Amino acid sequence: MKKNELIINLEEKKATLKKGGGEKAIEKQHARGKLTARERIELLVDPGTFQEFDLFVKTRSTYFGLDKKSIPADGVVTGTGYVNGRRIALFAQDFTVIGGSLGEMYALKTTKMQDLAMKLGIPIIGMNDSGGARIQEGIDSLYGYGEIFRRNVKTSGVIPQITIMMGPTAGGAVYSPAIMDFIIMTEKATTYITGPEVVKAVTGEQVGHEELGGGLVHNTKSGVAHFLAKDDKDAIETLKKLLSFLPDNYLQEPEIVDTGDPVEREELDLRNIVPIDPSKSYDVRDVINKVVDNGDFLEVQSLFAKNVVVGFARIGGRAVGIVANQAEYMAGVLDINASDKIARFVRFCDAFNIPFVTFVDTPGFLPGTDQEHRGIIRHGAKVLYAFSEATVPKVTVIMRKAFGGAYIAMCARHLGADMVFAYPQAEIAVMGAAGAANIIFRKEIKNAENPEAVRQEKIKEYKDQFANPFKAAERGYVDDIIDPKDTRIVVAKALEFLRTKSEEPVQKKHGNIPL
């Protein structure tokens, strides 16, 4: 049957609106090395699954000639689709349309997706590329941001919320991603509260866009972003991988996948990777890669606070969160940034029923005025809080150093670890033997004829007593001391066994995590 005029008219209308800002603007977008909102959606969702919402929405604002301007779809493409067969809701900011800036109706389109995702219990994905509040619309855009933020908070811990930044995310646009669970940033993306011009006007400081808030800055320095991507395509691939580890909502568990990697796999290399000599370094990712299925590990915040490593993997097909001290970087010490990184990751895993495995090898919290004055106590407390609060299965492997507060903080039995294993070279003590001997035998060392010889003797004495896992095992703080080659087998068995763990959180309005 022939198309009638109504259908022809509809198709034309849709085609025009779908061109966004038009050919020239699209060319400009491509010249900046960016894809358009619709091209990004096409890359993200399974073919033919995108259902667009609100293509015909228009701004109601008439200020500063907005009523005369063409603003297709009001600058944001919203809808639902499937990613590798799983449902998601999304909004993709269209920079070709008035800089992807947010006005009242644009915000309503966004909150409609947030509400829908919440009702259905499915992840919400934001693709950011926006100059922030639509300046011409004035306070209506502020109202819009407020409504989005409130939903980000309401949704937090209910469904995964993930942002991919692929262009500017300026001004009011920054806080929605910041409340969400993960931010993936391309190298060229920028995010800042105020751009270089405002910075110059207010402080006199001269700084470029990327230097102020580029992908690299937020992945290495501020810790705002969780993944750095080469370009739009790479960012979307990262998102797909991340989603594969997550359930759709807090009432579900992540999918169990047949990874083809047997759990009964011994790894003789693990006997050598973690050196017996506590002063020797190694890359903890070599341990993680040997333990998880097929060595497939998605590291989160790999460029920030490198003294700890966190990320997602599978063991026996089950999604797990991995938390580990990184001996290779600052000897795996816990500092402010590492504490923030661990605490936020652990709370995410707990909220979404992802058990975690903690690999411990840390000399302690980082001492010094810099850390103390910036609040290592307040930040370190987050780690204790997050591990204690978590009700998912918690498995801890003490590989080498586990001293003092950091021993407790790294998910010790005392914070509720369900199963704790230690390597034979583990040292579980109040502090390192050298430091301990210097304090408790200070007088004897000082008054000795040969102070150095006595010092070494006392260090040995302390080491023999405490620098091993047996004292902790005698008390039941460690459940078993294992051959490192069996780590995968032991951890996989533990996770399998703990799968029915159920621990009701204490009834309260909410806790008060130190922030």
Residue 131 or 321: the one with the smaller Cβ distance to ligand HXC is 131
Strand ranges (E), 308-349:
308-315, 318-325
Return the CA Rg of the chain.
26
Regarding 429 and contact with ligand HXC (CB under 6 A), the answer is no
Helix (H) or strand (E) holding 17: helix 5-18
Site for ligand HXC in 179-198 (CB under 6 A): 195
Which one of residues 72, 81, 160, 172 is an interface residue with ligand HXC (CB under 6 A)?
Answer: 172
Residue 131 or 363: the one with the smaller Cβ distance to ligand HXC is 131
Count of positions on this chain that bind ligand HXC (CB under 6 A): 15
Regarding 107 and contact with ligand HXC (CB under 6 A), the answer is no
* Active-site annotation holder among 133, 390, 406, 417: 406
Which one of residues 99, 126, 278, 364 is an interface residue with ligand HXC (CB under 6 A)?
Answer: 99
Regarding 98 and contact with ligand HXC (CB under 6 A), the answer is yes
Q: Establish whether 406 is a catalytic residue.
A: yes
Residue 133 or 308: the one with the smaller Cβ distance to ligand HXC is 133
Residue 133 or 384: the one with the smaller Cβ distance to ligand HXC is 133
Strand ranges (E), 160-284:
161-170, 182-186, 190-192, 227-229
| Binding region for ligand HXC (CB under 6 A) out of 58-66, 117-125, 168-176, 491-499 | 168-176
- At 21, is the secondary structure helix, strand, or coil? coil
Least distance to ligand HXC, CB of residue 132, Å: 3
Q: Establish whether 332 is a catalytic residue.
A: no
Are 399 and 421 in contact by the 8 Å Cβ rule? The answer is no
Which one of residues 91, 106, 145, 387 is an interface residue with ligand HXC (CB under 6 A)?
Answer: 145
Which one of residues 72, 79, 81, 171 is an interface residue with ligand HXC (CB under 6 A)?
Answer: 171
Regarding 325 and contact with ligand HXC (CB under 6 A), the answer is no
Regarding 132 and contact with ligand HXC (CB under 6 A), the answer is yes
Residue 71 or 117: the one with the smaller Cβ distance to ligand HXC is 71
Regarding 142 and contact with ligand HXC (CB under 6 A), the answer is yes
Residue 69 or 501: the one with the smaller Cβ distance to ligand HXC is 69
Two tokens at 166? 């692929």
Residue 128 or 468: the one with the smaller Cβ distance to ligand HXC is 128
Two tokens at 471? 């004292």
Site for ligand HXC in 195-254 (CB under 6 A): 195
Regarding 148 and contact with ligand HXC (CB under 6 A), the answer is no
The full 3-state SS of 379-396, as one line of letters, equals HHHHHHHHHHHCCCCEEE
Q: At what angle are helices 232-244 and 37-44 packed, to 10 degrees?
A: 40
Regarding 135 and contact with ligand HXC (CB under 6 A), the answer is yes
Are 394 and 354 in contact by the 8 Å Cβ rule? The answer is no
Helix (H) or strand (E) holding 273: helix 270-273
Q: Establish whether 195 is a catalytic residue.
A: no
| Binding region for ligand HXC (CB under 6 A) out of 12-20, 58-66, 131-139, 441-449 | 131-139
Q: Which residue has the tokens 């751009």?
A: 195
Least distance to ligand HXC, CB of residue 38, Å: 18
Least distance to ligand HXC, CB of residue 25, Å: 7
Total residues belonging to the chain = 515
Question: How many Cβ atoms are within 10 Å of 390's Cβ, its own excluded?
Answer: 24
| Binding region for ligand HXC (CB under 6 A) out of 127-135, 179-187, 210-218, 291-299 | 127-135
> What does the DSSP 8-state code read for residue 256?
P
| Binding region for ligand HXC (CB under 6 A) out of 126-134, 255-263, 324-332, 448-456 | 126-134
Regarding 35 and contact with ligand HXC (CB under 6 A), the answer is no
Residue 50 or 175: the one with the smaller Cβ distance to ligand HXC is 175
Regarding 75 and contact with ligand HXC (CB under 6 A), the answer is no
Count CA atoms closer than 13 A to 169's CA, side-chain side: 30
Least distance to ligand HXC, CB of residue 213, Å: 10
Q: Establish whether 295 is a catalytic residue.
A: no
Q: At what angle are helices 104-120 and 139-155 packed, to 10 degrees?
A: 10
Q: Using CA atoms, how far apart are residues 190 and 250, in angstroms rounded to an integer?
A: 31
Tell me the one-letter amino acid at 207: V
Helix (H) or strand (E) holding 39: helix 37-44
Are 172 and 142 in contact by the 8 Å Cβ rule? The answer is yes
Regarding 134 and contact with ligand HXC (CB under 6 A), the answer is yes
* Active-site annotation holder among 21, 103, 171, 432: 171
Among 335, 346, 282, which Cα is nearest to 312's? 346
Q: Using CA atoms, how far apart are residues 185 and 190, in angstroms rounded to an integer?
A: 8
> What does the DSSP 8-state code read for residue 506?
P
| Binding region for ligand HXC (CB under 6 A) out of 165-173, 261-269, 363-371, 446-454 | 165-173
Are 107 and 137 in contact by the 8 Å Cβ rule? The answer is no
Q: Which residue has the tokens 């219990």?
A: 121
Output the CA–CA distances (angstroms, integers) from residue 450 to 440, 456, 460, in the order listed.
17, 10, 16
| Binding region for ligand HXC (CB under 6 A) out of 5-13, 50-58, 170-178, 241-249 | 170-178
- 368 CB-near residues (< 8 Å, 6+ apart): none
Catalytic residues: 171-172, 405-406
The residues that touch ligand HXC, with contacts defined as CB under 6 A, are 98-99, 101, 131-135, 142, 145, 168, 170-172, 195
